[in-house]
Chains A and B, each alone.
Chain A
């Protein structure tokens, strides 16, 4: 395989890993727990910013970038730090927004949270360097391995790192969804009042889904920021949440395998595949058509196959012993 192709494929694979983790996280919140997290991208962004800030070093040394904190933590601490920030942010946002609201109002509030977050990040320049964002994020472990961080060997190495983190994320999410906790979340999704009447603490369950999903989303952001080596508000506008939402619904809401398929179809398939389309007409046309296509596909699925390509599976229990 030529070097150019290797770079393309390896980059694509890292995107696949990032998007699969993100869709698993949103699936946990939306598909399993029924929380309409329209602010999803904020959690991936928080993870990206956190990982960047703890690897860039203190702000004064870098000069042209202004941001809070700063450290030079070795890998994998930035990913862990990102996950913690994602969980804490989810707790704070959840306590604010999700305490007493019905589903539909939750969605509106979360959307507003997403917009407010973008405004804060853009305008409070000292926070994460405003609209210019953070750049020159170093790639981890390159010196330890003795390879150039810009070479193809490092790239494949990082594909491996992404795969490992993906596996860990899957383990975490699957433990939740396949357990009685997962069943409680689904019950809350189906009928919150009844779930509470049976002894489930629905506020806590909702916060838990937000925090667990938020941690995994943030971890995906930590990987993504290493790949791109930069992160700014333009990387995480609301359409990004929309793309992941479409992935959850089209792939199969409530099903981790469906989530993987959705990730391959929407963020990776539709949005990455457009690289290969010959440009025609207005230079913005292809980009705009991508989003139109995602929207149209989502509508079609909501009309005809609302449960998605791989729907939530029916739980069966093994036959009992005959006494």
Chain B
């Protein structure tokens, strides 16, 4: 079974369709995301890549089609339940909680006992130990991403690049099984691009499966295998960047789309 076979893979989308009024934003898309790889999703503007990512994450309900994650159909599940299954996404405009500190942002990522009403009413004795563990995990992640000094800074006061890193760190707190990255390099300085690439490569080496929508083709070339090309709402081809470069239909897609 090749990676492009929708019957294989950790995550598979089959026949995904999204109509906004009369516009077929996603016209019939099928591809699969193999376990343990960073899969790239590329294509010209308006190809439907972000819409597909939104559908996988649960932010957008598809008109039709199915999304199968590790054998479970998730297309009807609300986003919070998909997150609990392990599908965690980042956002194009970094979604940090502005009035929470950086460390608190990370703590939100990890589900813990004191989040239920019963747990909260039982008090610190019930939930404090688990939170302390999470605080330590959070601090370790902040250090790993070079944000240790920002621990008590409000999320809203961080720079764009710091927010981007914080988002990824927070996603890790949720112990994701599939990380969806929505243009992680958008608007990021070249030096930071390199850092983020290195982090993603490390995470991949540790076994994390990722699906990345990205415009910067050099980044995709360095990080992703396989790569899925979309244009005009449908999948055009799948393969490594080297293979795709040789395919006429891929080149055409970028010219037409």
Interface set, chain B 124-154, CB cutoff 8 A to A? 124, 127, 131, 135-136, 139, 152, 154
Within the assembled complex, what's the spacing in Å between the Cα atoms of A194 and B95?
6
Of the candidates A190, A201, A212, A254, which one forms a contact with B80 in the assembled complex, judged by CB atoms under 8 Å apart? A201
Q: In the complex, what's the smallest C-beta–C-beta distance from A135 to chain B, in angstroms?
A: 37
Interface residues of A in 183-219 (CB under 8 A from B): 183-184, 186-187, 189-191, 193-202, 208, 212
Q: How many A-B residue pairs have CB under 8 A?
A: 109
Partner of A200, one of B80, B101, B107, B121: B80
The majority secondary structure among interface residues of chain B is: helix
**B109, B123, B131, B170: the one within 8 Å of A175 (CB):** B123
A300-320 contacts to B (CB < 8 Å): 312, 314-317, 320
CB distance from B252 to the nearest CB of A (A): 35
CA A39 – CA B124 in complex, angstroms? 33
User: Which of B22-30, B61-69, B84-92, B203-211 touches A?
Assistant: B84-92
Considering only CB atoms, which chain B residue lies closest to A177 in the complex? Answer: B120
Structural contact, A194 and B91, CB atoms closer than 8 A: yes
Given contacts A176-B117, A176-B121, A190-B100, 10 further A-B contacts (CB under 8 A): A176-B120, A181-B115, A186-B97, A193-B95, A194-B91, A195-B108, A198-B83, A314-B101, A317-B135, A320-B139
Q: Sort chain A's interface into a size bin.
A: 20 to 34
A193 to B97 Cα, complex, angstroms:
11
The answer to whether B115 touches A187, judged by C-beta atoms less than 8 angstroms apart, is no
Q: Are A179 and B174 within 8 A (Cβ)? A: no
Q: A175-B121, A181-B119, A187-B108 are in contact. Are A197 and B97 (CB under 8 A)?
A: no
Contact assessment for A181 and B152 in the assembled complex, using a CB-CB cutoff below 8 Å: no
Closest to B118 in A: A181
Contact B100 A183 (CB under 8 A): yes
A317 touches B103 (CB 8 A): yes
Determine the distance from Cα of A101 to Cα of B100 in the docked complex, in whole angstroms.
Answer: 24
Which residues, 131 to 190 on A, are CB-close (under 8 Å) to B? 172, 175-176, 179-184, 186-187, 189-190
Q: Is B219 an interface residue (CB 8 A)?
A: no
| In the complex, B78 has a CB within 8 A of chain A | yes
Residues of A within 8 A of B58 (CB): 197
Contact A175 B80 (CB under 8 A): no
Q: Write the residues of chain A forming the contact surface with B, with a CB cutoff of 8 angstroms.
A: 172, 175-176, 179-184, 186-187, 189-191, 193-202, 208, 212, 254, 312, 314-317, 320
Task: Kindly provide the distance from the CB of A208 to the nearest chain B CB, expressed in whole angstroms.
Answer: 6
Q: 29 A-B Cβ contacts within 8 A?
A: A175-B123, A176-B117, A179-B115, A180-B115, A180-B120, A181-B115, A182-B120, A184-B108, A184-B115, A186-B97, A186-B100, A187-B100, A187-B108, A191-B97, A193-B59, A196-B79, A196-B83, A197-B88, A198-B88, A199-B174, A200-B108, A200-B115, A202-B80, A208-B117, A254-B99, A312-B99, A314-B101, A315-B100, A317-B103
Contact B170–A198 (Cβ < 8 Å): yes
Of all chain A residues, the one with the shortest Cβ separation from B113 is: A180
Residues of A with C-beta under 8 A to B136: 320
Contact residues in B for A316 (Cβ distance below 8 Å): 101, 152
A244–chain B nearest beta-carbon distance, Å = 21
Query: Given contacts A180-B112, A199-B111, are A190 and B98 in contact (CB under 8 A)?
Result: yes
Within 8 Å of chain A (Cβ to Cβ): is B247? Answer: no
**Chain A residues positioned under 8 Å from B116 (CB to CB):** 181
Complexed CA–CA distance, A191 and B108 (Å) = 12
Residues in chain A near residue B42, CB distance under 8 A: none
Q: Which residues on A sit within 8 Å (CB–CB) of B168?
A: none
Q: How far is the CA of A271 from the CA of B69 in the complex (A)?
A: 59
Rounded to whole Å, the gap between the CB of A194 and the closest CB of chain B is 4
* Contact pattern, B 38-77, Cβ under 8 Å of A = 1, otherwise 0: 0000000000000000000111000000000000000000
* B225 at interface, CB cutoff 8 A: no
Cα distance A122–B170 in the bound complex, in angstroms: 51
Inter-chain contact A314/B89, CB cutoff 8 Å? no
**Which residue of chain B is the closest to A184 with respect to CB atoms?**
B115
B114 within 8 A of A: yes
**B131 vs chain A, min Cβ distance (A):** 6
Q: Is the CB of A198 within 8 A of B114?
A: no
Question: In the complex, which residues of chain A have a beta carbon less than 8 angstroms from the beta carbon of B127?
Answer: 179-180
